[in-house]
Every structure is written in C-alpha cells, then in structure tokens.
C-alpha cells in the first residue's frame, strides 16, 4: 500500500509530502453528480455499493495519497433520531432539533449495530481500493454535532447553541457526552471494518473563545480520543477558525491537527508543537485561481512545513462545488514535484 | 463632555473603563422597532432628524460612554450607484454587483457632497447629544465593501471575492483604491460635521490568510489612515476572526484595534503592542446569558485588560436582534462597578 499518508500521521520520514482533499468525492466531479441525480446523499451513505463507488471516484481520477469514506459528519444525529434531511440549496436540516433539557434527556444511547451500513461500506471500499491507498473514516465532533442539533441546521452565529451552553451547562455536558459516546461507537465500527485512520470534524468550533472551548468542548474530545486510543489508528482533529484554540487542541491527544488557511502553517505548527503532525492548509478557493497563483500558494505552504516529518498536504476546508478539475490536478502535481 | 471614551482612545488614564456597544441602536430596542415600522433603514440613514433620534435612543436608555451615528457600513456603495437595498430576512443586497474589470473601471469617483445627508445627520445628532458623550462616525472598510459589492450581498465563503483577488489582482487594487477614496470622503464629511472618533468596519476580513491580507488589503487601510490623520480624530479598526492578522493590523497606523471574542484580550493586546489601544471583546451572545454568567465573562475581560490605559469595553461584534435589555444593563453595570 502507498503508506505516505499513514507515515506522515505518525511523523515518520516520507519520500514526498502526502496529499488528499477534504470532500474529494463531491459535486465538483461529474461522476459524482451523475450518481447524485439518481440517489440522495443519505441513500449513498447507507448503500455500501454506492458509498464505495463514490469513495473511489477521486482515487481513479486523481493521484491522491488517501481515500476518505463517503459519508456525512451528521450521521450520528441521524442515528439518534433527530430527523436528518439534506434539502437542495439549504443543506442539512434536523427536523427534531434539541431545544430543552427534556430533549437532551430523551436522546437515546446508540449501539454500534445501528452503523452496520457504515461497517459494510468500509468493507466494500477496502476491497475495491485493493490496498492502493489508505482509507480514512470520520465523524462530526460533539460541538459541531450540537450546533446542528440545536440550530436545526446550518447557522451563521450559533446563537441558540451558545445560549444553551451558557444557560444550561449541565444539559450541555450531558448532551455532548451522549454525542461523544455515539461518535465512539460509530468510529469504532469504521475502524473494525478496516479504516486506517480517522478524522473528527469539529468544523465550526472556531466560533468559540478559548475559555469556552476549554470548559465546554475539550473534555468531550479528550474522552473520544481516550476511548479510541486502544484501536491503534491515528486520529486527525480538524476545525476552521481555530487559530486561538491550537494550544488547547494539542491537549486533545490527537495525532494530527487539521489547520484552516487563516494561519501560517509554520506559526501554527510551532504553537501546537512539532511532536504532533499537521494537515492543511490551502484555502479551497485557491483551487479556482490561475495555475501560477495555485503554485505560488502550494509552494509557500510546503516551504513553511520545511520538510519536517508529519505534514499532510490538504485544504483548509472541503473542496467547493465549482472547483475546476485542472486546479485539483495542478495542486497535486505541485505537491508531488516540490521543491521543483 | 464625558470624555472617558476619547481618553481611552488616546491611552490616557480614566476613572473607569468606558463602555459602548456596536449596533447599540438596533432591533433589540422597542424604540428602534417603532421607527423601523414606519421607515426603511436607508430612509433613517438619509433623514437627519431620524438618524439623530435613533442614535440617541440607547444614550437615553443606557448609561454608555459613547454614541455612534446611525448609518450603515455600505453607504459608500450606495453612493457609487451599486443599488443598495435592505431586504427583510435577507439583509443587504447590491442590485448591480461588480463582476468584471469593466465594472471596476466604471465605478465613479465620488465627492464628499454626495454625503451631505451624513453631514447633516452628524450635525443634528451633536446638537441633540448636547455634549453628553462623544459621537463616533464610521464606514465599511474597502475589503468588506468589496465582499458585498462582488458577492451582491452577504456571503459565507466569499468565493467570488477571493477569485477576483487571485485572478484579477490589478482590478482588485483599482477597486479597493476607489473604495478607499470614497470612504475617506465619507469619513471626512462626518469628521467635519463633528464626530469625535471614527471606526472602520472590516467585519469580514478575517476570512483571509495573513499573506493575502498583507498584499491585497493592508495598503488600502494604510492609505485611508494616512489621509485622515490630519483631521486629528482617533480611528478604530475593527474586524472579526482577525487573530492571525493582528501584527499586520498594527501596521495600519490606527489608534484603536477592535477585537472579536475569539482572542483572549491579554494575548491579543500583547501581540498588537500596548502602544495601541484596544476595544472589545465580549461575545454578543453572552448578553443573553444568565446575569452571573455575564458578570463572570465581563470581569474576565476587564481582568485581562489589567487596568492598562487604552481599553474600551465593547462587544466582539454588533448586538444581536433578540438581546434582552437586562443583559445590556447588567453588562454596563458590571463594567462600571469593576473591580467590585
């Protein structure tokens, strides 16, 4: 197997920097759009053959160093009965949002068996991958799950989420504990089915100040990391807007920290400490820039990484829908040819 | 006049920390809603009597240390003919967005006389204030104006904005120069009509990485600051998500840096340097928290400021629509009674 990615997760030397892209299976690919015309997102997630097919699409098209299972960060909320639906042009909607202490009380405990579809999807994908590249499993992290569960969907300001955090701290912690347990079950199923690494998406945690992160979020991430340590696969913790949270994120115990584009990679890595690997940090919008601009920015990131073991090249957030394939190609090629 | 605020802008000692709130005249006040039922936002901005009345509402209701003229950050775009309209539940819309090099070429130069309504509004407000507290004037900063002008309204990812920045750098700089010139004309009118300080809102500039901020934004802020220096009023530069931009923001030459809530005030101030004043940095959502939680967070900020001259207490962004008045009262009282 091409093990550059896994070596970089463990901060071992590699022949060149590994590269993959968050949301590399997605709307910017015609092959993906063709499948989506016939199937909903949830159908693809829950039909192992389709999940495997979509996961493989970018592996067939691009020379990336890792695959990531096609799924959604919110599947734990779906499993808990919050009524997840993806509505065109609106994004994810939770039809039964959490608003009261009673709503939190009612949240069910979920065993791993609910995620049998994920187990099967990972199995089939591993077979289809035939050990070409490692496979990454993932889930949303408790805070980000809570933000969707409470707001009922996407949000700009996270007003209800923070209000609950500030006014109902006990329910908040109970809810995040429940989410953490389900996330552990879900990720454990993926690991046992064969994923080689896992990524925890705390995409919106950067809306918090450091004190709130430390008090209301960090303990739940630490619980997940501790529960999964015995499984022996590297864990990547990713969020956007986390510049002021990095020293706290180090305390999660994760092997790899995902960085958005708002930080200089060298500054961020120094803050986190070189004994943790880093992943990132190109602005996804750069993939749509003229090729020389892409190259200038890719090289800047690689120079800032300075050839230290433990850097995985990636974007600072998921690939955007209208990203041109040539931009993706140019980025991969630039990483692979660096320093030339 | 109560000059605590102006003294703090100049980093002079004060008897207690001055406090005011961004968007302190707004939807959370019944008095404001009553006016809005009869008049549009643009009508209020452009009718000096109404602008003065709304500006005074929070001064009458709360014991704040500064007034801020009722206006909108996008008025420079309105003056340039981009077709600004505020649409209920959608926010600001620009009916003639900027998409091409030709659109940039066509942007007109604007003389200060277009902003006569602002001049009159400031005049009348100063009279109505009767020197109780200083009056702050403001405008959107070039990047934030560009983001609305290009996207045609609010945005989550600023895709078109960054695409233009990356692919049409010459047009980008020409556009930002034009915006900077109009902003200078607009702010100069406000200063000559009597505002005692000005704030430049670069609300969304935190979506950029530091290199892009330095190359595509900073020179235009420096141009504005230099043009207005001779007017002799302090300038506050504010943005959200700017944790990684602070050392560059220092180079703008502004007297006061506005901080959002994602940074610890002490860390941010140390990064910027104590020879610049700071304003902020309470999360606006905290105003809706239980009173003891408000007090805990207000005191934390004041402790981090450490009694150094040059801290103005404020939120990390504008007051939100459903903010309870008691939360505003509790915050002000807590600042005024600190350290008790």
pLDDT value at position A8?
Answer: 98
Contact A262 B285 (CB under 8 A): no
Q: Which of B11, B32, B65, B148 is catalytic?
A: B148
Looking at residue A123, its pLDDT comes to: 98
pLDDT over threshold 90, residue B340: no
Task: Evaluate if residue B32 carries a pLDDT over 80.
Answer: yes
How much is the pLDDT for B88? 87
Is the CB of A318 inside 8 Å of chain B's CB atoms? no
Chain centroid, CA B191 distance in Å: 15
**Residue in B156, B211, B285 nearest the CB of A162:** B285
Q: What is the DSSP letter of A293?
A: H
Contacts of A300 in chain B (CB under 8 A): 211
- Per the CB < 8 Å rule, is B289 touching A261? no
Q: Is A157 an 8 Å CB contact of chain B?
A: yes
| Contact by Cβ (8 Å): A205, A245 | yes
CA B95, B98, B103, B107: dihedral to nearest 10 degrees?
A: 80
Catalytic residue flag (residue A72): yes
Is any Cβ of chain B less than 8 angstroms from the Cβ of A170? no
B3 Cβ contact partners less than 8 Å away, ≥ 6 residues apart:
B134
Quick one: what percent of chain B has pLDDT higher than 90?
99
Cβ–Cβ pairs < 8 A, chains A and B: 87
A148 catalytically annotated:
yes
The answer to whether residue B337 is catalytic is no
Nearest CA-CA partner of A282 in A315, A319, A324: A315
**Interchain CB distance below 8 Å, A320 and B166:** no
Assess contact for B319 and B21: CB atoms under 8 A: yes
* pLDDT score for B141: 98
DSSP labels, B209-258: -HHHHHHHTHHHHHHHHHHHGGG---EEEE-SS-GGGHHHHHTT--SEEE
Chain B residues in contact with A156 (beta carbon < 8 A): 156
Strand partners, A314: A281
State pLDDT tens for residues B248-296: 999 999 999 999 999 999 999 999 999 999 999 999 999 999 999 999 9
Q: Are B312 and B19 in contact (CB under 8 A)?
A: yes
A-chain residues within 8 Å CB-CB of B163?
285, 288-289
Taking only the tens place, the pLDDT of each residue in A13-49 is: 999 999 999 999 999 999 999 999 999 999 999 999 9
Q: From the candidates A16, A27, A174, A304, give the one annotated as an active-site residue.
A: A27
Q: Could you give the CA distance from residue B219 to residue B205 in angstroms, rounded to a whole number?
A: 14
Give yes or no: B72 in active site. yes
DSSP state of A109: P
Yes or no, beta carbons of B167 and A293 under 8 Å apart: yes
Looking at beta carbons, which residues of chain B come within 8 Å of A285?
157-159, 162-163, 166
Cβ-defined contact of A289 to B262 (cutoff 8 Å) = no
Residue in chain B closest to A158 (alpha carbons) equals B285
* Average pLDDT of span A281-298: 98
CB distance B248 to B214 below 8 Å: yes
3-state secondary structure A205-239: HHHCCHHHHHHHCHHHHHHHHHHHHHHCCCEEEEC
Pairing verdict, β A84-87 and A91-94: antiparallel
φ and ψ at residue A224, rounded to 5 degrees: -65, -50
Q: Report A:194-223 residues touching B (Cβ under 8 A).
A: 206-211
Task: Kindly tell me if the per-residue pLDDT of B157 is higher than 80.
Answer: yes
Q: pTM higher than 0.90, yes or no? A: yes
Which of A208, A209, A290 is nearest residue B167 as measured by Cβ atoms?
A290
Give this complex's ipTM.
Answer: 0.96
Per residue in B55-69, pLDDT tens?
A: 999 999 999 999 999
- Please provide the average confidence, as pLDDT, over all residues in chain A: 97
Neighbours of B208 (CB within 10 A): 27
A27 is catalytic: yes
Give yes or no for a contact between B144 and B205, defined as CB atoms under 8 angstroms apart. yes
In this complex, is the C-beta atom of A243 within 8 Å of any C-beta atom belonging to chain B?
A: yes
Look at residue B89 in the predicted model and tell me its pLDDT.
Answer: 84
Note the pLDDT of residue B275: 98
Q: Where does the pLDDT of residue A162 fall: very low under 50, low under 70, confident under 90, or very high at 90 and above?
A: very high
Helix, strand, coil percentages (3-state) for chain A, rounded to 5, are 55, 10, 35
SS3 A73: coil
**CA–CA dist B277, B283 (Å, integer):** 19
CATH class of residue range B4-337 = alpha beta
């Amino acid at each position: 197997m091409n093990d550059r990615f896994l070596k970089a997760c463990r901060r071992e030397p590699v022949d060149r920097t590994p590269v993959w892209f968050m949301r590399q299976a997605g709307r910017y690919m015609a092959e993906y759009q063709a499948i989506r015309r016939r199937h909903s997102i949830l159908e693809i997630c829950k039909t192992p053959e389709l999940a495997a097919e979509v996961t493989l699409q970018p592996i067939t098209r691009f020379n990336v160093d890792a695959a990531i299972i096609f799924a959604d960060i919110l599947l734990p909320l779906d499993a808990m009965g919050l009524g997840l639906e993806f509505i065109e042009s609106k994004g994810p909607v939770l039809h039964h949002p959490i608003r009261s202490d009673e709503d939190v009380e009612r949240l069910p405990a979920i065993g791993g068996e609910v995620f049998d579809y994920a187990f099967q999807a990972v199995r089939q994908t591993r077979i289809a991958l035939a050990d070409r590249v490692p496979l990454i499993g993932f889930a949303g992290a408790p805070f980000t799950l809570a933000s969707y569960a409470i707001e009922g969907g996407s949000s700009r300001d996270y007003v209800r989420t923070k209000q609950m955090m500030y006014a109902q701290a006990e329910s908040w912690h109970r809810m995040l504990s429940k989410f953490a347990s389900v996330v552990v079950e879900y990720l454990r199923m993926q690991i046992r089915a064969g994923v080689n690494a896992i990524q925890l998406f705390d995409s919106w945690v950067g809306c918090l100040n450091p004190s709130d992160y430390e008090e209301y979020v960090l303990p739940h991430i630490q619980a997940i990391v501790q529960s999964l340590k015995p499984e022996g696969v590297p864990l990547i913790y990713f969020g956007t807007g986390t510049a002021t949270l990095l020293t706290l994120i180090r305390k999660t115990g994760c092997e790899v920290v995902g960085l958005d584009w708002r930080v200089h990679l060298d500054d961020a890595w120094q803050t986190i400490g070189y004994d943790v690997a880093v992943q990132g940090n190109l602005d996804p919008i750069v993939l749509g820039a003229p090729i020389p601009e892409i190259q200038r920015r890719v090289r800047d990131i690689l120079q800032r990484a300075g050839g230290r073991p433990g850097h995985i090249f990636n974007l600072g957030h998921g690939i955007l829908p209208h990203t041109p394939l040539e931009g993706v190609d140019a980025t991969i090629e630039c990483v692979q040819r660096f320093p030339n």
